[in-house]
Amino acid sequence: MEVLIKGLEYVVTQDDKRRVLRGASILIKDGEIEDVGDVKGPVDEVIDGSSMVAIPGLINTHSHIPMTLLRGVADDMDLFPWLQEKIWPMESHLRPDHIRAGTALGVLEAVRTGTTTIFDMYFFEDVVAEVLSDLGMRGALSEAIIDFGTPECKNVDECMVLADRFVQKWRDHPLIEPGYGPHAPYTVSPERMREISEKAEDNGSTIQIHLAETEKEVSDIKEKYGKGAIELAHEYGILGDRTVAAHVVWPSKMEIALLRETSTLVSHNPVSNLKLASGISPVPDLVEKGVRVSLGTDGPASNNTLDMFETMKVTALIHKVSKRDPKAIPAQTALDMATRIPGDFLRWKIGRICKGYRGDIVLLNVKVPWWVPLHSVVSHLVYSARSTDVRHVLIDGKVILRDGKFTKRDEEDIFAEAERASLDLLEKSGVKSLLKGVD
């Protein structure tokens, strides 16, 4: 199967020289980028690239996809009442059908907003993987592990059995990279963290964990163990070049050095951190010290979208104001954090438009007022672009979004199923949503 994307306005390659090519075409053969430049057919499918900019598909390195069902149920609340009164009661009623509905909605949202690879940590991860596989989306997925159990498992031993089974089942899948998801150092004991890190090392799988998200987490861990959350996780083997540390809002200087030494991938989630008032991660310091930093949205209950264009823009903006320095996190750095940096973390060659990389490509329509005049493609991508500019999305060389239309399932069906699943969770849990004045 050969696909030719012909005569693009620009191609943002994200190669080592960060070249932006004008008027180039892209040839994809059997899912892999065969050539970029002055390429011609004959091929099986031609996509007209005029009025379009091509970028590598965006990579969202932290999410809880099925939480699309909890979007907007409760906002503008303190973290603990929000969790205890709203989120946890609804989550306790989650069953595989809810997960299926919420994941399909999340995949549709991610694809329509230019994301081709999504990281996820949640319950019933086997169902999440099935939906991604059916809909042709790439994912790095981790089964959540919590000491007091999850909606899927009564206790942590059961969680471990599920996680092992999940990793074994999906390890050779072409679109899924399975891993372990120890939730956080305040919900998973140090001994359990040690066991997980040894297992992940043995079978070469990834680890996703929340680390140093709130000031309270860091002070609680310090009181209990006499050290920081990141330091504790490191002591029990969790940090490493196959680990994603989500949030990292409150690292100490010493912990920043640990993240660098271990080549841990940090997932910066600025929108969630702003919405839950967790704080502002010292990302410019992390970058300066050589830590690998990528971008994530977190779950849609705390964002409330999976929109990586918004995430890139917020990243480039908040660090300027927090440092009082407009040079902090330039547009190119924000784009690298959403493409080539997380791309290098995974086992596939993704995150760049170069020969030999997978055909994960997003095309944006630039014949809209906010792209004119087009002096700098990269600046526009971060500061001007809107996710609704996305017209075509290819994952592994297959067209998943064609001219704004999802090719894998009927969108209305996905919406209806998600509405039903969300209402069912509200009803079963007795949680009142924010909907007011509507019968």
- Binding interface with Zn ion (CB under 5 A): 298
Task: Find where tokens 């000031």 sit.
Answer: 215
Is the preceding omega at residue 185 within 30 degrees of 0, hence cis?
no
* Nearest of 193, 196, 204 to residue 171 by alpha carbon: 204
Q: How far is the CB of 346 from Zn ion (least distance, A)?
A: 19
* Nearest of 274, 275, 217 to residue 245 by alpha carbon: 217
Query: Residue 125 or 298: which CB sits closer to Zn ion?
Result: 298
Tell me the angle at which helices 96-112 and 125-135 cross, rounded to the nearest 10 degrees. 40
Q: How far is the CB of 252 from Zn ion (least distance, A)?
A: 21
Contacts with 314 (C-beta within 8 Å, 6 or more apart), sequence order: 270, 271, 274
Token readout for 111 is: 């694809």
Using Cβ positions, the residue closest to Zn ion within the complex turns out to be 298
Query: Residue 207 or 366: which CB sits closer to Zn ion?
Result: 207
Q: How far is the CB of 424 from Zn ion (least distance, A)?
A: 23
Query: Residue 137 or 248: which CB sits closer to Zn ion?
Result: 248
* SS3 state of residue 419: helix
Query: Residue 79 or 368: which CB sits closer to Zn ion?
Result: 79
Q: How far is the CB of 210 from Zn ion (least distance, A)?
A: 5
Element at 399 (helix H, strand E)? strand 398-402
Query: Residue 152 or 298: which CB sits closer to Zn ion?
Result: 298
Query: Residue 36 or 184: which CB sits closer to Zn ion?
Result: 184
Q: How far is the CB of 272 from Zn ion (least distance, A)?
A: 7
Q: How far is the CB of 95 from Zn ion (least distance, A)?
A: 21
CA 407 to chain centre: 22
Is the preceding omega at residue 42 within 30 degrees of 0, hence cis?
yes
Question: Cα(212)–Cα(214) distance, rounded to whole angstroms?
Answer: 6
The sign of the torsion formed by the CA atoms of 106, 111, 113, 118 equals: positive
Query: Residue 298 or 336: which CB sits closer to Zn ion?
Result: 298
Query: Residue 177 or 298: which CB sits closer to Zn ion?
Result: 298
Q: How many other CB atoms are found less than 10 A from the CB of residue 141?
A: 27
Token readout for 331 is: 């547009």
Question: Cα(138)–Cα(397) distance, rounded to whole angstroms?
Answer: 12
Element at 256 (helix H, strand E)? helix 253-261
Query: Residue 142 or 262: which CB sits closer to Zn ion?
Result: 142
Q: How far is the CB of 269 from Zn ion (least distance, A)?
A: 7
Query: Residue 143 or 298: which CB sits closer to Zn ion?
Result: 298
Q: How many other CB atoms are found less than 10 A from the CB of residue 355?
A: 15
Q: How far is the CB of 296 from Zn ion (least distance, A)?
A: 8
Angle at 301 between CA 299 and CA 307, to 5 degrees: 55
Q: How far is the CB of 65 from Zn ion (least distance, A)?
A: 11
Question: How is 145-170 classified by DSSP, letter by letter?
Answer: E-TT--SS-SSHHHHHHHHHHHHHHH
* Nearest of 434, 379, 426 to residue 90 by alpha carbon: 426
Is the preceding omega at residue 304 within 30 degrees of 0, hence cis?
yes
Q: How far is the CB of 102 from Zn ion (least distance, A)?
A: 15
User: Contact at 8 Å (CB) between 49 and 364?
Assistant: no
Q: How far is the CB of 248 from Zn ion (least distance, A)?
A: 12
Query: Residue 298 or 417: which CB sits closer to Zn ion?
Result: 298
User: Contact at 8 Å (CB) between 364 and 114?
Assistant: yes
Angle at 267 between CA 263 and CA 63, to 5 degrees: 135
